[in-house]
Amino acid sequence: MKEFGYERAADVSGALALLDGDPDARFLGGGTNLVDLMKTGVERPGRLVDVRELPLDRIEATEDGGLRIGATVTNSDLAAHPDVRRSYPALSQAVLAGASGQLRNVATVGGNLLQRTRCGYFADVAAPCNKRVPGSGCPAIEGEHHNHAILGASDHCVATHPSDLGVALTAFGAVVSYETPDGPGRLPFTEFYLPVGDTPHRETALPPGALITGVTLPAAPVAANSRYRKVRERASYAFAIGSVAAALDVRDGVVHEVRLAFGAVASRPWRAHTAEQALTGGPADAGAFAAAADAELAAARPLPHNAYKVTLTRNLVVAVLSELAEEATR
Amino acid sequence: MTTTTTGTRVTKAVGTAHARVEGRDKVTGAARYAGEVPFAGLAYGWMVLSTITRGRVRSVETGAVLEMPGVLTVLHHGNAPRVDIDYVGMLGVPDPTVAVFQHDRVPHAGWPVALVVAETSEQAREAAEALVVHYEEEPHDVTFAGEHPDAYTMPGPGGPAVTGKGDLEAELAASAVVVDAEYSTPEEHHNSMEPHAATALWDGGRLEVVDSNQGTVWVANELANLFSLDPASVRVRSEHVGGGFGSKGVRAHQVAAVMAATVLSRPVRVVMTRRQLFSLAGHRSPTTQRVRLGADAEGRLRALEHSCLSRTSTVYEFIESGAGVARVMYDAPAHHTANRVVRLDVPSPTYMRAPGEAPGSFALESALDELAEKCGIDPIELRVRNEPERGPVSGLPFSTRSLPACFREGARRFGWADRDPRPGLRREGRWLLGTGTAAASFGAGAMPSTAAATAEADGTFTVRISAADIGTGARTALTLVAADALQVPTDRVRVRIGDSDFGPAMIAGGSMGTRSWAWAVTAAAEELRERLALSDGIPPEGITVRSDTTEALGALAQTERHSFGAQFAEVAVDVATGEVRVRRMLGIFAAGRIVNPLTARGQFTGGMIWGISMALHEEAVRDRNTGALYGADLAGYHVATNADVPLVEADWVDDPDPDDPVGIKGIGEIGIVGAAAAIANAVWHATGVRHRSLPIRPDRVLTAGPHA
């Protein structure tokens, strides 16, 4: 494999200084995705700046009752944190539905957001891929795509975002904080990932050389009654073919507030605003849940072999919201 | 030399659970695998595989790569040593895929086009990835979907292409109940935990290869043929093997390593990456199968037709003989089987655990379940009613056939008697529950082998045989067999294996390894014991006796000799999400005398777990446009995880082979046979939907709907 430099940063300013705006350098978190991609030649950085030792490993309550999660918090620590489990249970469930215990022990929150698609064409340097080699083509559209996108894709790329964590963060309106040599910045989760369009290789709105420092969850009492359900092709250690993060507040049989996000359907975790609007103020029953899912999924443009994802996602919405509604009225 | 064939004896070590003799070395890391054995002056080769699926190599730009750090040479079709593939080896003519770098043709994606050798593995890999190869690309055809106009019949490893008796159409027309269904299984890969790895070096005029394989003599003879060497001048060693499953014979990596060691005059190691294994280690061909069954109202078969189409490469003929299983399992007045193959622009397939039987039993045992449903007869009762007296095709008697005993014991332990046969009735929360069963069989054979047993002066014994322990526990099993034959405790016996210098012996394959080796070990040990009884003491060099079972095996009566088994599975299906979970499995086998219950149970349950994987997970997806595999790694190619594997139990009924000195039949393959059918039948019982294509993925369950 390609020889690369390795440096370890002690703090945020040191990390930015070591990266020095070098487009051939990458920040290294847990390395659970980047190192794999380096072994297969998909990523070929000249330098790695290890940010795992940065003092960004805390989870703290914010003044307004939300949570601030440091970028180097490991997935395991995030999932086990009492405040997360109490106030945002779907977030904890989403993390635990991903990877394996060993991977979760080293994978970091910041790295999770920047992990790459698991599209098999992207991972195979012998195959064309617009995300890996812009302009080379997308073989998935006419080839294997049973686990590709049904929402928000383009003729240039139909890959999905693999994160489970990101689906819950999307549902809870998380905000990503980052640092650059020119100062800090913030991006709401719904703006963090760019539309696919004709530039699938450009994945986030982060400025070049920016370092993610953390994720802030706004206070969301509704999130205390939340759930993440993931369907995959084996019982463990596989990426989703469909997932739903949902939070529900039902008062007198009426949906007072609802949060809904889908995984494995798009190039980014998919916030289901249309479905949320359809549900709010209406009845909390299976018929309404199905109608809301259908409203969101009306925008779906499935390929020949992934239309089942429309059914799957709809069924998951109904199942998860029904469970939450039942628990809320218990 | 005498060889005992007078039936089985009461023994002490055989039949008693014994931990692996090398277990401590393996769990502490002291056991070295082929890619880990140190050599002074070792260089590392890295294979470069074609990125096109069909065409020619126009040029290989070696110049820039030869300037890279540590690079020693680049071998390709323009400069590699020549090899000879015009020979017939133990398993027939060689797969030309092993004759690397001999011509410019590219017959499939992932064909070896060059070997880069460097001082370190990392340097070799970096240079290999930088090597620019120019191709002339040609159109390819990799599409395997049902029929193909170029398909033709071909004999399999264990039988003819076609068998037939009786008037099929007339019997079908006269049948009260008919099942006519098509089944399919996907391309599947062995994925041994240890990748293929070989180190080659010349030492005093001898070629030495340290390798990971299923038979050192086999690989040594293939290399001698390929490189036109005296077989005695080739030594292959393979001490520990991290799984083979049919994939570890002679492969491109050994040949490339020998070439590089010859050119550079120093040891060269070549290890395949996981991704390279997907094109160079062989695989199980996909199959499409049609089964037609006709029965009277009581379920007795009048007609049975089983045809199987599989796929091979354009350079080598290998057939996945799925229809062969019907020639053993069930008889009918009209009985027809056919195996056909089509050549496409894909890598060569090969033997993979229970070749033929694994996919064939999925189709046939699913069809039996469909027949039971249509007849309104319990699936076990249906099979018992159709137990044949003699081999349906051969007409020969069975050596033993204890299938009904397996079903009786399995039904008792699984709780089958309480089963309501109607599908789609049992619900537990979001899960629909169902149970299923299927029969299993695999041939029991033995091949000539030689062994040496030495009485050492210190009172211990050393047995030498070029057996292979590919994770089965063969080294331990042979220790038990030798101890019993010598009538000494196991701790006085040392068994040495995995060295071609120990002389010809069967490979670890075809469920025949342990039986073949145990026969030779028993023969040598028993004669040694007789010799010792007459001797006045042991000289310093010990007393050694050699055996050869060729004559004894040649005298065996022709008979239908098989292991049998009954598989049971309970599944849960969520039809809203398509998720299928196996809740428990039970396999009861009649598979000869069980030498070591501890490792045998692991081998049976390992096969059954692979059956879960086959039923629900495993599928290599070939892109018809690129011709290459999609997701050729263990993230994309799913095998069952621990979370997919529930309580899996295996046990056996007494079934010693009457003609084997130890009573062994062989247990290597049968654990997977019928397992996928039992699970698919359970999915039907849970949901009322038949799944005739594997794997039963969530999207397929969802698409099939709740009541297809």
B503 in a structural domain: yes
Q: How far apart are CA B252 and CA B95, in angstroms?
A: 10
**B540 lies in some domain:** yes
Residue B9 has pLDDT above 80, yes or no: no
What pLDDT score does B6 carry?
Answer: 40
Q: Looking at the partner chain, which of B633, B641, B703 has a beta carbon nearest the beta carbon of A237?
A: B641
Q: What is the pLDDT of residues B408-425, one digit of tens each?
A: 999 999 999 999 999 999
Across residues B375-390, what is the average pLDDT? 98
Phi, psi of B522 (to 5 degrees): -60, -45
Record the pTM. Answer: 0.97
Q: A235, B643: Cβ pair inside 8 Å?
A: yes
B104 in any annotated domain: no
- Give contacts of B51 with chain A, Cβ < 8 Å: 126
Residue of B nearest to A230 (CA): B577
Domain ranges of chain A: 5-52, 229-328
3-state secondary structure (DSSP) of residue A185: strand
Cβ–Cβ below 8 Å for B703 and A308: yes
Q: Provide, as residue numbers in chain A, all residues whose Cβ is less than 8 Å from the Cβ of B579.
A: 231
Cβ-contact A250, A284 below 8 angstroms: yes
pLDDT, mean over chain B? 96
Distance CA B61, CA B74 (A): 10
Q: What is the DSSP string of A219-246?
A: P-GGGGSEEEEEE-SSSSSS--SEEEEE
User: Can you give the pLDDT at residue B156?
Assistant: 85
| Per-residue pLDDT band at B5 (split at 50, 70, 90) | very low
- Of residues A120, A231, A237, nearest to B698 (C-beta): A231
**Which chain B residues are closer than 8 Å to A318 by Cβ?**
576
- Residue B411 domain-assigned (yes or no): no
Q: Which residues of A touch B630 (CB under 8 A)?
A: 120-121, 124, 143-144
| Calpha distance B57→B105 (Å, rounded) | 6
Q: Which tens digit of pLDDT belongs to each residue from B212-251?
A: 999 999 999 999 999 999 999 999 999 999 999 999 999 9
Active site residue B669: yes
> Is A120's CB within 8 Å of B122's CB?
no
Expressed as residue numbers, the domain containing B477 is 23-31+447-549
Residue B26, pLDDT above cutoff 90: yes
Q: Is residue B234 part of a domain?
A: no
Put simply, the answer to whether A312 touches B641 (Cβ < 8 Å) is no
**pLDDT band for position B158 (50/70/90)?**
confident
Using CA atoms, how far apart are residues B429 and A319, in angstroms rounded to an integer? 12
> Cβ-count burial of B134 within 10 angstroms (0-12 exposed, 13-18 middle, 19+ buried)?
exposed
**How confident is the model over B335-349, as a mean pLDDT?**
98
pLDDT confidence band for B11 (50 / 70 / 90): low
Disruptive mutation site among B116, B573, B626, B637 for chain A (greatest number of A CBs within 10 Å): B626
Substitution target in B699, B700, B701, B703 with the highest count of A β-carbons within 10 Å is B699
Using CA atoms, how far apart are residues B368 and B373, in angstroms rounded to an integer? 9
- CB contacts < 8 Å between A and B, how many? 102
Angle at B161 between CA B159 and CA B166, to 5 degrees: 100
Residues of chain A with pLDDT under 70: 330
Give the pairing type, strands B461-464 and B450-455: antiparallel
Give the number of domains in chain B: 1
Pairwise CB contact (< 8 Å): B623 & A139: yes
Report the chain B residue with the minimal C-alpha distance to residue A125: B51
Residue B706's pLDDT is 62
Q: Which of B187, B222, B619, B669 is catalytic?
A: B669
Our CA-based measurement puts residue A177 at a distance from the nearest CA of chain B, in whole angstroms, of 31
Nearest residue on chain B to A237, judged by CA atoms? B641
Tell if the CB–CB gap between A235 and B275 is shorter than 8 Å. Answer: no
What class has domain A5-52? alpha beta
- Spell out which residues of chain B touch residue A3, defining contact as CB-CB under 8 Å: 122, 126
Find chain A residues with C-beta within 8 A of B578's C-beta: 231, 308, 312
Of B624, B630, B702, the CB nearest to A312: B702
Please, which pLDDT band fits residue B316 given cuts at 50, 70 and 90?
A: very high
Helix extents (H) in B29-133: 63-66, 121-130
Asked if the Cβ–Cβ distance from A139 to B625 is below 8 Å, we say yes
Please list, in sequence order, all residues whose beta carbon lies within 8 angstroms of the beta carbon of residue A82, skipping any fewer than 6 positions away: none
| CA–CA separation, B123 and B289 (whole Å) | 47
Q: Does a structural domain hold residue B473? A: yes
Residue B495 belongs to domain with CATH number: 3.30.365.10
Please check whether residue B651 touches A, CB under 8 A.
Answer: no
Q: Does residue B498 form part of some domain?
A: yes
What CATH class has A229-328? alpha beta
pLDDT of residue B427 exceeding 90, the answer is yes
Do B638 and A319 lie within an 8 Å CB cutoff? no
pLDDT tens-place string over residues B669-688 = 999 999 999 999 999 999 99
d(CA A233, nearest CA chain B) in Å? 6
Q: Are strands B197-203 and B152-153 parallel, antiparallel or unpaired?
A: unpaired
The neighbouring-strand residues paired with B463 are B453, B495
How far off is chain B from A18, nearest CA to CA, in Å? 26
Among the partner-chain residues A2, A124, A235, the one whose CB lies closest to the CB of B641 is A235
Position B516 scores a pLDDT of 98
